[in-house]
Structure formats: C-alpha cells, structure tokens
Amino acid sequence: MNTMDARDVIEVAKDICEKTGTRLTETRQHMLEVLFTVDTPKSAYELTDDYNRLVKSPIMAMSVYRILNFLASIKLVHHLHSINKYIICKHPIASSENQVPLFLICYSCQQIEEVAIAADLINALSEHAESSGFVSAGSQIELNSLCKKCQSNIHQHSHGDLNGQNPTNK
Ligand SMILES: [Zn+2]
Ligand SMILES: [Zn+2]
C-alpha cells in the first residue's frame, strides 16, 4: 500500500469532512498532526500528553476522546481495541468495500503493521461468531504477533543465554 505524508493526510481529511458535511476543526487537524508525529500506537491519555507537549493550546482528555472517535469514524485513525490504543491511518482511503484492515500487533515492541485483507475473510469469521450465538462487532482484525526485529532479537538472546549457561564448555 502507498503511504501518505502529513500534508496528504490533512488534505484527505478535509476532503472527507467536506463530503460528509463536517468540518476539520483546528483541534482535529492538530490531533492528526500529533498522531502523525508520534507514529506509534498510543492511548488517549498518552495522546493528551503528546498534544499538550506539541500544540500550544492545551486540551483535556475528554476532548481527545471525542476527537479520536470522530477521526476513527472517518477512518483516518484506527482504534486498536485489543490494546486500547490509537494509530493514524497512512493509507489512502481507497474505500474499497471488499477490503478490511488486518493489524499485525507485535506483542513485544507493539510495532504495528496494517495490511489489507479480503472482506470475505471477516465475513467468514462473523458467520462463525453467529453460529456460536455472538454478533461480530468488528470491521477489522487484530492479530497478536511478533515482528521481524523482535524475532531476530529473541533468536540472538537465546544464543546468548545458551553460551551463558554453559561457560564450562569453552
Ligand atoms: Zn488504515
Ligand atoms: Zn516487535
């Protein structure tokens, strides 16, 4: 997927707001810029701190929740429910109806990779949920996983540990 830079994100946001009859207020725009700058998954409280550090006019956590909900509703921000954090969406809104986001969330460093998967997959999962009497509430999938970097770190560490455990073998 192509990624956008901060200016693109703002432009796309303005566009969506115009089309949906809402407005990209100054605070909403600042929040997008903050999310873009931090570029890692953050909780609403962490984002409140970041916002107040980066933007001159202070904001309350309550407003941050509202803004994040708004930005999530126009799909410029993703709420990762499994870790209760927010991340900016840098992918052009292709608004392809047959694709949904899959988030690979590294359980070690919380690095996130967003990839598009066929909506059919989530429909199939929803059917499973329904057959168990549940109603699926998600339009995205979050997968607990381990990123490449952390995989190689663990690999190196396990080697180090082995050497450490057997000093007499040398
Ligand atoms: Zn996205
Ligand atoms: Zn990792």
CB 10 within 8 A of CB 35: no
**Ligand 2 centroid, distance to 44 Cα (angstroms):** 22
Judge: domain 1-91, CATH 3.40.50.720. no
- Separation of alpha carbons 24 and 106, rounded Å: 32
Ligand nearest to the Cα of 114, by number? 1
Ligand nearest to the Cα of 101, by number? 1
Q: What SS3 state is found at 144?
A: strand
CATH number of this structure's domain 98-170, picked from the four choices 3.30.1490.190, 1.10.3720.10, 3.30.1380.10, 3.40.50.10140: 3.30.1490.190
- Separation of alpha carbons 17 and 74, rounded Å: 8
Per-residue model confidence (pLDDT) at position 159: 63
CATH 1.10.10.10 domain residues, the chain: 1-91
Q: What SS3 state is found at 48?
A: helix
Per-residue model confidence (pLDDT) at position 7: 82
CATH 3.30.1490.190 domain residues, the chain: 98-170
Give the residue with greater pLDDT, 51 vs 138: 51
pLDDT digits (tens, 9 = 90+) for 52-99: 999 989 999 999 999 999 999 888 899 999 999 999 987 755 556 788
Locate the DSSP E strands across 63-159: 77-80, 85-88, 99-106, 112-118, 141-145
Give the residue with greater pLDDT, 38 vs 170: 38
**Ligand 1 centroid, distance to 152 Cα (angstroms):** 27
What average pLDDT does the chain have?
86
Q: Which pTM does this prediction carry?
A: 0.81
Q: What SS3 state is found at 118?
A: strand
